[in-house]
Structure 1
Amino acid sequence: MLQQIRKLFDQIGRGQSVEVHPEKDVRMISAALLAEIATADHKVDERETVALKNLLQAHYQLDSASAQELVERALAERQEATSLYEFTQTVNSNFSERDKYLLVKQMWQVAYADGEIDAFEEHLIRRVADLIYLPHGLFTRARAEARDESE
């Protein structure tokens, strides 16, 4: 999945004509960022992967099998990511401020799914929020709402 994103960027950089499916690309990037949160603490907790699947399924109105496939691809290929910038650049180009807020809230929801926030998870969410230029007020609101929903 992440390899496909890199390939797309390479093709665009070389001026090749490519067929872009923004909805699919946005789904892949969202799944990749949420998968990073699910694995930021260097362990894959079943509660986090279930939350990840449920969030993707609800947000993108996917059937259960499609959401599960997206999660599995994101988790399997997450090691190939070289930089958050390649993902956050696409988020900045394709997401409204509301969509960015929802993405950060979903990141917090995945992080809270196992009942604890690891320092790596918090750092990664903060870094993504900064890179997508989410105002601090919306960042703290997303965290508070995710925390309240997890209790």
Structure 2
Amino acid sequence: MLQQIRKLFEQIGGDADVEVRDEKDVRMISAALLTEVATVDQKLDDRERQTLVQVLQQHYQLDAETAGELMENALAHREQATSLFEFTKTVNDQFSEKDKYLLVRQMWQVAFSDEVIEAFEEHLIRRVAELIYLPHGLFTRARAEARGME
């Protein structure tokens, strides 16, 4: 998956339609990170899948089909993932602090959707929050808000 994201990064900056690709890239990065949370425990529960699609739909105002395709694309390219750094670099470059907070909250939403927080899920979310420089207070607030959304 990171290989595909890397290709998307290479496309940014050369053409006049960068804005269109930027939005697409941001959605793909969000889908990739949310998918990582959903699959870090090596199983994808139907509740996690449903929550992931709903989060993408709501946040990016997508229809169910487009959100589902985005998730499936992220899942299909998951094996190519090599590092979180490439994702988080773009998050740091393109997301405001509010967007970073929302991303972490969405990651928690996916993690909470199967009613079990695995150690791998928590570690991944914590690591992403650190790499995107989200203050610890916002990290814990995101977790608490996501828990209340169950």
Q: For the superposition of Structure 1 and Structure 2, which TM-score range results when normalised by the shorter chain?
A: over 0.9
Deviation string for 1:20-58 (max 9, x for gaps)? 311000000000000000001111111001000000001
- Give the drift of 1:2: 4.0
Partners of 1:69 and 1:2 lie apart in 2 by 17
- Give the drift of 1:148: 1.5
Aligned: 1:4 with 2:4? yes
- Give the drift of 1:66: 0.3
- Structure 2 residue aligned with 1:90: 90
- Give the drift of 1:10: 4.7
Deviation string for 1:94-139 (max 9, x for gaps)? 0000000000000000000000100000000000000000000000
Aligned: 1:136 with 2:136? yes
Alpha-carbon RMSD across the aligned residues, in angstroms, is 1.6
Q: Is the 8 A contact 2:3 2:80 kept in 1?
A: yes
Q: Is the 8 A contact 2:112 2:146 kept in 1?
A: yes
- Structure 2 residue aligned with 1:62: 62
Partners of 1:27 and 1:37 lie apart in 2 by 15
The amino acid across from 1:113 in the alignment is S
Partners of 1:142 and 1:92 lie apart in 2 by 18
Aligned: 1:17 with 2:21? no
- 1:43 counterpart SS class: coil
* Most deviating of 2-11 and 110-119: 2-11
Partners of 1:51 and 1:88 lie apart in 2 by 22
* Most deviating of 79-88 and 1-10: 1-10
- Structure 1 residue aligned with 2:123: 123
Partners of 2:112 and 2:82 lie apart in 1 by 25
Partners of 1:70 and 1:11 lie apart in 2 by 19
The amino acid across from 1:56 in the alignment is L
Q: How many residues align?
A: 147
Partners of 2:94 and 2:10 lie apart in 1 by 19
- 1:147 counterpart SS class: helix
Partners of 2:4 and 2:35 lie apart in 1 by 16
Partners of 1:139 and 1:9 lie apart in 2 by 27
Structure 1 consecutive aligned stretches of length 4 or more whose deviation exceeds 6 Å: none
Partners of 1:141 and 1:11 lie apart in 2 by 35
The amino acid across from 1:80 in the alignment is Q
In the alignment, structure 1 segments of 5+ residues that lack a partner are none
Partners of 1:4 and 1:144 lie apart in 2 by 33
The amino acid across from 2:14 in the alignment is S
The amino acid across from 2:95 in the alignment is F
